Amino acid sequence: QVQLVESGGGLVQPGGSLRLSCAASGTIFSLYIWGWYRQAPGKQRELVATITNEGRINYADSVKGRFTISRGNAKSMVYLQMNSLKPEDTAIYYCYAAFTVGYWGQGTQVTVSS
């Protein structure tokens, strides 16, 4: 079993920055792909960014050039640095990790508003 716990969400003004963290525990050695997804009110959950153990990174077009996904040295952490935030980035952000089975965190709220 794997547990994922997100932190770092909050309220920020447009143009501001936030850094989300995801701490993984349990049987993490089997995990291959890590990522962040988000879900805005009334919308489907969508991919934000993913990173594999080999370091392959994928971003949604809407966040390219503004968001950066990374892994911690201990490999049990994954981060999402979010810069130049826009109101449309407002959503619950979920950490995700998978190999043959996928795991989700409980989510952290990000609100971009003046």
Q: How far apart are CA 28 and CA 2, in angstroms?
A: 6
Closest CA to 35 of 20, 17, 25: 20
**pLDDT computed for residue 11 by the predictor:** 98
Tens of pLDDT, residues 7-63: 999 999 999 999 999 999 988 888 899 999 999 999 999 999 999 999 999 999 999
**pLDDT computed for residue 31 by the predictor:** 87
Q: How far apart are CA 110 and CA 114, in angstroms?
A: 13
Report percent pLDDT > 90 for the chain.
87
Are residues 50 and 57 in contact, defined by beta-carbon separation less than 8 angstroms? Answer: yes
